């Protein structure tokens, strides 16, 4: 999944408007215009399509966390230069204030069965012996579960 795909799926799941998307970027300390947001959301075939960089998606996710959970005291976390599906899943889990059981329930809504032990492997340090790389399929099903939970639809 590309960063643009993830951004589109999050926007659809939460039913964010362009203005809300811009506000979430601003909450992560990045000012973007409506045109830039729209270009990120356009399909790859569109001539005006722009790729969303890792640092931009990380900033958006940090803004989502700040919006949903409240801003942290003191210095804000720096957005990651390089994102992985593990980091994206972790940031979404934090933003939605989910426990492991909640994540598993969302996966179940997308007909994707997962154990608590398999899930915990995604949130370990990369150098841990039980660390597991989060595949696109897992992140896609998680986002579908979030969408189904928030909007009641899987389309």
What does the pLDDT look like over 80-129, one tens digit per residue?
A: 999 999 999 999 999 999 999 999 999 999 999 889 999 999 999 999 99
What does the pLDDT look like over 49-91, one tens digit per residue?
A: 999 999 999 999 999 999 999 888 888 889 999 999 999 999 9
Read off the pLDDT band of 151 (50, 70, 90). confident
Whole-prediction pTM value?
Answer: 0.92
At 44 the pLDDT is: 93
At 154 the pLDDT is: 58
> What three-state secondary structure class fits 1?
coil
What does the pLDDT look like over 7-19, one tens digit per residue?
A: 999 999 999 999 9
Instruction: With beta carbons less than 8 A apart as the criterion, state whether 129 and 136 touch.
Output: no
Instruction: With beta carbons less than 8 A apart as the criterion, state whether 138 and 89 touch.
Output: yes
Average pLDDT, the chain: 94
């Amino acid at each position: 999944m590309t960063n643009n795909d993830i951004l589109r799926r999050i926007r659809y799941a939460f039913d964010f408007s362009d203005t809300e998307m811009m506000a979430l970027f601003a909450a992560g300390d990045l000012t973007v215009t409506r045109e830039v947001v729209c270009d990120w959301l356009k399909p790859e075939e569109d001539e005006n399509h722009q790729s969303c960089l890792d640092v931009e998606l990380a900033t958006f996710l940090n803004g989502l966390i700040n919006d949903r959970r409240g801003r942290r005291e003191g210095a804000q976390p720096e957005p990651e230069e390089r994102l992985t599906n593990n980091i994206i899943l972790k940031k979404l889990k934090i933003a939605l204030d989910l426990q492991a059981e909640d994540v598993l329930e969302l996966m179940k809504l997308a007909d994707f069965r997962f154990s608590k032990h398999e899930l915990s492997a995604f949130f370990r340090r990369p150098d841990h012996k039980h660390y597991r790389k989060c595949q696109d399929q897992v992140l896609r099903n998680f986002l579908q579960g979030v969408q189904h939970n928030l909007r009641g639809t899987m389309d």
